[in-house]
Structure 1
Amino acid sequence: MESNPQHDDELVFVSDDGDVPPVEEPVQRAAWRVLIVDDDPDVHTTTTFALRGTQVLGRPLQFMHANSAQEACAIFERDRDIAVVLLDVVMEQEDSGLQLVRRIREHYGMQETRVILRTGQPGYAPEMEAIRDYDINDYKTKSELTRNKLYTTLTASIRSYDQIRTINAGRRGLDMVVRATSELLALSGIHNFAHGVITQAAAFVRGRPDGFICVRRPPELRDDNHDVVVIAAVGRYAPVLNKPLGQVSDEVARDALERCLREERHLFEAHGTALFFRSRDGRNMAGWLDTQDIVEGDLRRLLELFSSNVSIGLDNTLLFSQLHNYAYFDALSQLPNRRSLIQKLDEHLSGPERGGHTLVLVDIDNFAETNDALGHYFGDLLLQAVAVRLQLALGRDCVLARVSSDTFALLGRTEQLMPASLQALFREPFVIESQELMVSVTMGIAHLTDIEGNGSDALKDANIALRRAKMGHRGEYSFFTRDMAVEIRERVKLLQALRQAMERQRLFLMYQPQIDLASGRPCGIEALLRWRGDDGRMIEPDRFIPIAEHSGMIINIGEWVLRLACFQQVDLARRGFDKLRVAVNVSVSQFRHPRFIPSVVAALKDSGADPARIELEITESMAMEEADFINRTLDDIKVLGVKIAIDDFGTGFSSLSYLQRLRVDRLKIDRAFVTDIVGDERAGRIPELVIQLGQKLGLAVIAEGVETADQADLLRRMGCHEAQGYHFARPLETDALLDWLNHHSTASSK
């Protein structure tokens, strides 16, 4: 303690030049709060007396008193809104004042409050060190604080406090705007965004979030009475949510928002605040917020800045909403799309709905033909009509989605999606552009209890059932079973293995000799594709060739087979078997491919094969389809000198007049007609008719599947020219074929 506080701390106001500002009548504005901390009661009295009635920056002073640092701390614990602290250095202890400064800054976080240190002993605490070490704003001896100087010092400190508070408030306001905008942008959907705007705006004015947001509807959804609709409402305005603005009962709020949207500006009024949010696409938004007083000054500027940021966020939100619609809804039908359906399926598969729910794919039969015949506009109207009928019949309890051009998906309770009930919905015609159109549908059905996996797996399994249904008659339906999934997986594995087999050269050709029945000599060979697995076992052609055709791999495989067969013909001719022809099967996909004729030309040229010794086999069903195209292609082949045979003849439904026009060289009797020709007179009639037809048309006839001498003898007596089958030889690899040819050929046949 100081030696004589009564003497040393005495505050004496000496005379000054000039006058203290006159005492003014107090005004009704918040006072600047000044805390006097001193253990001398006279200091409190004289300071208060000297500055009573004084105003600083247009506001009065309010004095608070503490006789010790401990009492000051008690005040700070409950109240920190203090502009200036007039602080004695020496109180309970010699450095009580300095330690209190440190506590004010570090413990209470009062960085804006100005601290004026006063001491009665000028040399006790060095001024520079005190200001440097303790964040003191001013340092005065009590003797130099005359009345005018006290007022001047206090005014300078309060002005500094006010400026710092304004700067910090602006910074906090800007931080609040940035934080509020960031939080708004994190919200998805226009409704959530609008709700967030109300909440954030209410936080600025520190009031209850009573308000609502309205937005102009898109042009295509507007009408005279519902141009503006409420999309978010909180507090006492909650009942107006989703109502047109014209139906809002609060006339003050309604009129203010109508004027806000019409004049495109903010309105700061006594009963509330209307904020305008501009959108580039014309879908402007306006918000009403209950406020007690007219918003002014910095707060108004912050709200205006906040509104500008909201306008930018509004454009982004509307864009995100539009992108969301594009991503999850079908533009034509306005139904959920495939991605949205998969999300719903994921929810159902992971929830309690799984047990009693079913997924149905409804595919419109012959929709492509309808589009071709009546146009895409008509087709679009039909799809929309189908969507409307399904929606009206099934209601909101069923999820309806459009998953492809002419396929709809239904997800709902099993009893609601019975196949017969769904098919009954299509018994009545659809009226499109005044035309009645009957529509049938094929359906694939999958119970969710049978699904192993997620929503994508469920949709895939329903597609498997749909494809199975399409294999039968149109208008049918098929239920997914797990056996179907096993079969598909096996096909996929086989396809992957086939790709690897091509890369690892596991595919190869075998050749089955063809015999002239009159002479018994070899007249040709048929190239047959074979596949030996990694384990050395053979994979049946009936298993992998359909997969190759379905996947498109048959194009490359077919080209490879043709080239290899051409090189084989050249090799046989070099070995003396120049009269032997080599027959090669051609698939439908290969025959129709634009690269087919060029691939034949390239194979002949690269190998040097004799075109007259190369024979391409096409199936009867292929020969009967697309007459003009088939004839043109056959003409191109014949120009090359290559022979043509119709394979599996008798299994299709040939038109004899059309067959006569085809430029083919040979008919091949299918093995199904050869098996029972011996001992069954009726079974032999079809081969006999085919042989006679060939003779009439000047075509050679060859029978396949000949397994016995009796079959060969009967075919010869019928007039059949050639035959092949196990009776003569099984398919042989190249080395075995050469041995067989050498054994069964005479020198004259070479």
Structure 2
Amino acid sequence: MGTGEDKAESAADDDRFAFAAEDSQPARPAASHTYSPQTPAILMVDDDKEFQQSLKLALDNFEFQGHPIQILCVGSATEAARVLAANPNIAVIILDIVMETDDAGLRLVRSVREVLGNAEVRIVLVTGQPGMAPMKKSLGQLDISDYWLKTDLTFERLHGVVTSNLRTWQQIRALSQARRGLQTIVEASNCLTRARSLADFSQRMILELSRLLGLDPEGLVCVQEDGIAHDPLAARVVAAAGQLAHAVDRPLGALENSPIRDSLLQALTQRANIETGTSQVLFFHGSDQGPHAATYIATERALDPTERELLHVFASNINSGLINVSLTSRLDRIAYEDSLLSMPNANALLRALAAILEAEAPRGRSLLFIELDQYSASCLSLGIEQGDLMLQKMAKRLRAVFPAPTMVARLHGDTFAILGQSALLRQDHINELESLDAEDPTHPPFISVRAASLDLDSYAGSARGAMEIGALLLRRAQSRGAIEILAYEPELEAETSQRFTRSRDLYRALHGNEISIELQAQVDLRSGRIIGAEALARWTRPDGTRIPPGEFIPMAEANGLIVPIGRQVLHLACQALERLRAGGFPDISVAVNVSPLQLGQRNFMQEFIATARDYRISPELLEVEITETAAMGDYEAKGQLLRGLRDAGFPIAIDDFGTGYSSLAHLRSMPATTLKIDRHFVSEISANSGEHMIADMIIGLGRGLDMQVLAEGVESQEQAQWLLEHSCMQAQGYFFARPEPLDAFIQRLSIVHA
């Protein structure tokens, strides 16, 4: 196969493919042809309409074997894929490499060969960019018939290229239809591993050659997978039939039959076919990088000229198939094998799982998901190499605990899956994983895992859905600190589906102004007067249904909608402060909750300050409320941001204090003005008089740090009185007021402050 660059040198003086100006081109009526369903077609794929039209004109009166050829034109690889899928009689594709993307043409070639499984159509690559020309290695591996620069395609060359490729297509088509045993290479490689795909391809080759010649199958195929530089006697026998069947998986040098061994050795050494009166040895040169193959067929007679010609045509197409099966075997390994651990990957598991799910229950199979506990920490502290070592250790343990035919696959990162009989995927095997070292059973364990299982008899979804459920189960196991296998429950899918639907509804609610706020009064325990309020987000559907914050706030944090929701709550809080000022309550402050995701936004502080300024809100009336965990996470960055807000005059409150993991040193330097005692500690005050130690400690801590202390969740006079007696001067809770709309809050202020 020559490239356009190679051919351009030898054709430098040839006439170029020139076009007459429009006014000098005589008008011709469009050709009118009737095409049968068997009429071969040429598909032109090029986004250059002028070049496409030029090719059509050049082929306007072209005939193949006395019949006109159908010409189809599309402008992109995407359109071409659709046309190819719908038209099985496309014989030749004239394909531009660069279209919607730089590699659109080559990706279409892969799609034709590997996805559509079409090994018959001939592909001629063309390009208007000479820099794309030196691609011999890739083009050879992708089964390309020819490659030309557009400027080198003269009228005669174009006709010659089309005629040659139509003839090749016709031969492949005829042999494919006549010899039913030939299957597409991509189909074989998609369902077999690399070794088996070569063996399967080779076994079929023996059968088809025997059928072509009217013989009983008697022969073998040996393959040099690494090219001709290696010893031919090391070539591996990958397929055999008849009395030679015992030779499979043995090197050629171990073959006992000396005449057959010598003929195959001669073919591999001389890179040529060898014919005797009783046998044929065909050499298939493959590509330059291999594999090379030699096939021995016992004929027991000399072949006549017709049989030799058929054999020659058949062999020329087998060589192309050998290249493709080698390439697709490599692609299959890349697609279905984990390169680090040399075990099946997620794609391989999906393929095997889909096959099991196609069968009716009971299947007696389960899917076990395994996740390492220390992998991320190990990579961070000791480096990726240590992480890889841990994965390799776990892979050995998994193979030892779950031997074949149980399938062990690495899904991603530190997550594995085991597909096998339900009775074999037990908790004791998980325990064994944590204690077993395949290299040194006496070595103490250093790997701990989380596990989740999915009984495929109780599951009715897709293979991909099963993988998603496994990931969800592992997250649940992590959040719950589960030490036993977390089992799948059918209700989980309904719950997940409901959350997904609710998440979409929340997105629409945010843009449909269904998110509002309610204000919960904050009270001075000494005077009983309302000094401020906390703005709480509420979701009310158009039909009046209210979604509890405990449902939609975690969902918003999970899908990122908490950021726009927080922004909207801030605007609503500023509008409330405007109303309060206009209603005669200019000193009432409003606190807004700020999520960690909001704090992580690059321009959060600037936007917060600008919003307050736009509404002409005094900063001391707009309190920023963050959780203890959010305040202490990434302390340096968060501390700097909060100090900026504090310097601008905004009060800072630490919410749910006592439930996180504060460093007292950090807390002392944190620019907070208020500590809010979590409702859990307030509830203990009335439950048992001896269970108020933490609340008392927080009050003392706040006083020592010169901060205001506000108690949340006050529900009784007893709690309020205790707090007052212990110097906590501010509180909020149902005892004073429930969260309420702004109008009701203003009315409450009017009554309390009358």
Q: TM-score, normalised by structure 2?
A: 0.70
CA RMSD of aligned residues (A): 3.1
Rate the CA distance shift 1:633–1:182 in 2: closer, same or farther, 3 A: farther
Identity over aligned residues, as a percent? 32
DSSP 3-state at the match of 2:182: helix
What pairs with 1:614-633 in structure 2 (closer than 5 Å)?
Answer: 614-633=622-641
Equivalent residues of 1:518, 1:716 under 8 A apart: yes
Query: 1:404: which partner in 2?
Result: 412
Contact kept in structure 1, 2:365 and 2:455, CA below 8 Å:
yes
Q: Partner of 2:267 in structure 1?
A: 260
Aligned to 2:432: 424
Contact 2:202 2:221 in 1 (8 A): yes
Instruction: Choose from 232, 238, 243 the match for 1:236.
Output: 243
- 2:375–2:390: 8 Å Cα contact kept in structure 1? no
1:620–1:652 contact (8 Å) kept in structure 2: yes
Structure 1 position 302, deviation (Å): 4.0
Aligned residues: 574
> Could you tell me how far apart the structure 2 residues matched to 1:462 and 1:278 are?
47
Asked if structure 1 preserves the Cα contact closer than 8 Å seen for 2:267 and 2:282, the reply is yes
Q: Which runs of 5+ in 1 are unaligned?
A: 1-169
* Matched residue SS, 2:267: helix
Structure 1 Cα separation of the partners of residues 486 and 230 of structure 2: 46
Q: Deviation per CA, 1:554-598, whole angstroms, max 9, x where unpaired?
A: 122112212222232233234332222210111223223434334
- Cα distance in 1 for residues equivalent to 2:182 and 2:647: 74
User: Which residue matches 1:148?
Assistant: none
Whole-Å separation in 1 of the counterparts to 2:515 and 2:615: 20
User: 1:703 aligns to what?
Assistant: 711
CA deviation map 1:225-258 (0-9, x unaligned): 9831122222332222222222222222211111
Structure 1 residue 213: Cα displacement: 1.2
Deviates most, 382-391 or 257-266: 382-391
Q: Match of 2:256?
A: 249
The residue number in structure 2 matching 1:646 is 654
Secondary structure of the corresponding residue to residue 649 of structure 2: coil
1:186 matched to 2:187? The reply is no
1:667 corresponding residue in structure 2 = 675
After superposition, the C-alpha distances for 1:414-436 in whole angstroms (9 at most, x for unaligned) are 3322111232132145779xx98
Does the CA-based 8 Å contact 2:522-2:533 persist in structure 1?
A: yes
Contact 2:434–2:445 under 8 Å retained in 1? no
Counterpart-to-counterpart distance in 1, 2:451 and 2:567: 38
CA distance in 1, matches of 2:280, 2:681: 93
Any conservation in 1 of the 2:171–2:313 contact (CA below 8 Å)?
no
1:536–1:218 distance in 2 versus 1, CA, 3 Å: farther
- In 1, Cα distance between equivalents of 2:171 and 2:520: 91
| 8 Å CA contact 2:172, 2:317 repeated in 1 | no
Question: Are the equivalent residues in 2 in contact too, given 1:525–1:582 (CA < 8 A)?
Answer: yes
Quick one: which amino acid aligns to residue 657 of structure 1? Answer: A
Provide closer, same or farther for how the CA distance between residues 535 and 431 of structure 1 changes in structure 2, counting only shifts above 3 A.
farther
Bigger shift: residues 667-676 or 442-451:
667-676
**Shift, 1:528, TM fit:** 0.3
Aligned residue for 2:457, secondary structure, equals helix
What aligned pairs does 1:187-206 form with structure 2 within 5 A after superposition?
Answer: 187=185, 188=188, 189-206=197-214
Corresponding residue to 1:306 among 311, 314, 329: 314
Corresponding letter in the other structure for 1:346: A
Q: Is the 8 A contact 1:327 1:339 kept in 2?
A: yes
Are 1:587 and 2:585 matched, yes or no? no
Tell me if 1:377 matches 2:380: no
The change in CA–CA distance for 1:552 and 1:284 in structure 2 (over 3 A counts) is: same
**1:287: Cα distance to partner?**
0.7
Does the 8 Å CA contact 1:464/1:484 hold for their aligned counterparts?
Answer: no
Shift of 1:610: 2.2
* Letter matched to residue 267 of structure 1: I
User: Residues 309 and 684 (structure 1 numbering): CA distance in 2 closer, same or farther, change over 3 Å?
Assistant: closer
Structure 2 vs 1, CA of residues 714 and 208 (structure 1 numbering), >3 Å: closer, same or farther? Answer: closer
Deviations 1:605-641 (A, max 9, x none): 4433322221111112222333223322222322332
1:209/1:182 Cα in 2 relative to 1: closer, same or farther (>3 Å)?
closer
Compared CA separation, residues 602 and 240, structure 1 to 2 (3 A): farther
Query: 1:654-683: CA deviations, max 9, x gaps?
Result: 333322111101111222233353585434
What is the 5 A alignment of 1:572-583?
572-583=580-591
Counterpart Cα distance in 2 of 1:422 and 1:650: 36
Distance (whole Å) between structure 2 residues aligned to residue 209 and residue 383 of structure 1: 47
Residues 1:414 and 2:410 aligned together: no
Q: Tell me how far apart the structure 1 counterparts of residues 506 and 476 of structure 2 sit (CA, whole Å).
A: 23
Q: Distance in 1 between matches of 2:716 and 2:628?
A: 26
Determine the C-alpha separation between the residues in 1 that align with 2:450 and 2:169: 66
**Cα offset, 1:285, TM superposition:** 1.2
1:181/1:322 CA distance change after superposition, 3 Å: farther
1:9-34: per-residue Cα shift (whole Å, max 9, x none)? xxxxxxxxxxxxxxxxxxxxxxxxxx
CA distance in 1, matches of 2:732, 2:388: 55
* Contact 2:232-2:269 within 8 A present in 1 as well: no
The secondary structure found in structure 2 opposite 1:386 is helix
Q: CA deviation at 1:511?
A: 0.8
Asked if 2 retains the 8 angstrom alpha-carbon contact of 1:429 and 1:439, the reply is no
> How many Å separate the matches in 2 of 1:702 and 1:296?
103
Q: Structure 1 residues 554, 195: CA separation in 2 closer, same or farther (over 3 Å shift)? A: same
Counterpart position of 1:78: none
Give matches, 1:477-488, under 5 Å. Answer: 477-488=485-496
Change (3 A) 1:175 1:329: closer
What's the counterpart of residue 525 of structure 1? 533
Shift of 1:180: 6.3
User: Take 2:472 and 2:631, find their aligned partners in 1: how far apart are those partners?
Assistant: 31
Amino acid at match of 1:592: G
Deviation at 1:745, TM superposition (A): 2.8
Q: Is residue 451–residue 461 contact of structure 1 (8 Å, CA) maintained in 2?
A: no
Say whether residues 1:362 and 2:365 are aligned partners.
no
Q: 1 CA distance for matches of 2:356 and 2:656?
A: 50
- How many angstroms apart in 2 are the aligned matches of 1:679 and 1:385? 52
In the TM superposition, what is the alpha-carbon distance from 1:277 to its structure 2 partner?
Answer: 0.9
Contact 2:397–2:438 (8 Å) recurs in 1: no
1:450 corresponds to 2:448: no
Provide the C-alpha distance between the structure 2 equivalents of 1:352 and 1:596, rounded to a whole number of angstroms. Answer: 55
Counterparts of 1:327 and 1:172, CA distance in 2: 33
Query: Corresponding residue for 1:609?
Result: 617
User: d(CA) in 2 for partners of 1:492 and 1:644?
Assistant: 34
Alpha carbons 1:359, 1:447 under 8 Å: kept: yes
Q: CA deviation at 1:715?
A: 2.5
Partner residue in 2 for 1:501? 509
Contact 2:516–2:538 (8 Å) recurs in 1: yes
* Amino acid paired to 1:186: T
Which SS does the other structure have where 1:688 is aligned? Answer: helix
The question of 1:563 aligning with 2:571 is answered yes
User: Residue type of the partner of 1:452?
Assistant: A
Task: Report the Cα offset of residue 527 of structure 1.
Answer: 0.4
For residues 106-125 of structure 1, what are the structure 2 equivalents within 5 Å? none
Quick check: 298-307 or 501-510, which moved more?
Answer: 298-307
The match for 1:492 is 500
Contact 1:181 1:306 in 2 (8 A): no
What code does the residue aligned with 1:256 have?
S
SS in 1 for 2:685: coil
Does the 8 A contact of 1:181 with 1:310 survive in 2?
Answer: no
Contact 2:232 2:252 in 1 (8 A): no
How far 1:191 sits from its partner (Å)?
2.5
Match of 1:158 in 2: none
Check whether the contact 1:464–1:480 (CA below 8 A) recurs between aligned residues.
no
